[in-house]
Each structure stands twice: as C-alpha cells, then as structure tokens.
Amino acid sequence: GAGVSQTPSNKVTEKGKYVELRCDPISGHTALYWYRQSLGQGPEFLIYFQGTGAADDSGLPNDRFFAVRPEGSVSTLKIQRTERGDSAVYLCASSFGSKETQYFGPGTRLLVL
Amino acid sequence: ILNVEQSPQSLHVQEGDSTNFTCSFPSSNFYALHWYRWETAKSPEALFVMTLNGDEKKKGRISATLNTKEGYSYLYIKGSQPEDSATYLCAYVTTSGTYKYIFGTGTRLKVLA
C-alpha cells in the first residue's frame, strides 16, 4: 500500500515568508508526528496528533510554528515569518496507534535564504 | 535533557566486511528502542523495535542487541554490501509522556565496492 507522502519535496523561500508543508499519512493511521532534522543533528520531535487533536506540541520551537490536522488524516505544518535557522528537513511519520512503530515520509527539505 | 548518542558518526568499510555501531541512551524510564535505515532522498525505513533487556533481533544480514540496564544497543551488519550504504538512526522512547522518538545523530555508513 501507499506509504507516507510529503509535499513539496523541496522548498526554497526567502526570510520572512510564510510556508506550508503537507503530510499524507498511511490510511487508517490515527497517530501523526512531525520531526525536524537540522544539519548535523538527529531528527527532533515537534508535534504529535492523535486523531484531529494535537496531543503533544511541546517540541514546537516558538509561536511561528503551527500544525493542523482538521479531519484526522492530512496534516499541514505552517511556519510564519521564516528565518534562516528554520532551514532543515521536516519529516512526518504516522502509526496505527499511539505506541506503535512510526512510518516516515521522505521529508521536505526547506531552505530559507 | 535526554541524550541519545551514536558512534561512530561515520565510517567507510570495504564490501564484504562486517561492521557494528553503538547507540547509547539513558537507562532509566526505558520503554523502547527503534533502529531505522535512512538512504538519501528516501524515507527512513524501520529495521527493529526492541523493548526487553537482552533482546536480539535479526533481519537478513543485519542484527541488533539491547542492554537496557547499561543503556546501549548494538547494530551489526555482516558482509556489508554497497546497498547497505545509508545513515542508521536509533530512536529512544521513554515511559513518560507521549510515544515521541528521541533520536541519536546517526551513523553514516559507506560501503566501498
């Protein structure tokens, strides 16, 4: 079956602009996670959804970052007033339940100039 | 701050060589340890999930062991092949809070033909 997909695969933007990153999880997976991998680091947790609600958003770095999952399937990560330090690979993962192995998408590579 | 460390950061081996990497994690509040393989421009692929002290898992030429009392896991690759070239990530999960991964920085493996 289809795996987790993310769009766009690459995004180049200018400092101060707004970006949206999309994640399509595996059908039927109720849990969805966003992670961010900066250069030279391992992926870091951003936010976790169980169904439509954000069950844990403790990893969001500041209020410029926001994520939604309005129908419990597709999720969008939104970044306002982008900064050069936001440049990273943004990974999305989904799992069938909340304590299951997570399946990852290929990531969106964001470059803020 | 929970610290997950992987070593070495990178290594090059010849085709046919066997190799191993280490993932170190806090021994307290352990719930699970996941291993992933991440090839460039692809999705991280789940290799193993390990939960019990003394666990040994095997998948083809790749195997992993777990020691929760001392806080480490080893990943072994027997008879490395060029297609094994990838970044290998371990992800630690604690008993507290949500099932979010705490990743190490990864080991980048290059197998030379």
A25 touches chain B (CB under 8 A): no
Which pLDDT score, from 0 to 100, does residue A46 have? 97
Residue A1: which pLDDT band, with cuts at 50, 70 and 90?
low
Residue with tokens 């964001």: A110
Asked whether A70 and A52 are in contact (CB, 8 A), the reply is: yes
Name the pLDDT band for B59 (thresholds 50, 70, 90).
Answer: very high
Q: pLDDT tens digit string along A6-48?
A: 999 999 999 999 999 999 999 999 999 999 999 999 999 999 9
Q: How far apart are CA A98 and CA B8, in angstroms?
A: 31
Residue B49 with chain A: CB contacts under 8 Å: 101
How far is A70 from B88, CA to CA, in rounded Å? 33
Each residue of B74-108: pLDDT tens digit? Answer: 999 999 999 999 999 999 999 888 889 999 999 99
Considering only alpha carbons, which residue of chain A is nearest residue B46?
A103
Which residue in B103, B105, B107, B108 has the most chain A C-beta atoms within 10 A of its own C-beta, making it the best mutation to test that interface?
Answer: B103
Looking at chain B, which residue has its C-alpha nearest residue A49?
B98
Indicate the pLDDT class of residue B2, thresholds 50, 70 and 90: confident
What per-residue confidence (pLDDT) applies to B97? 82
Residue environment code for B32-42, b if the CB has 16+ CB neighbours within 10 A, otherwise e: bbbbbbbeeee
**What's the sign of the alpha-carbon dihedral B18, B24, B30, B32?**
negative
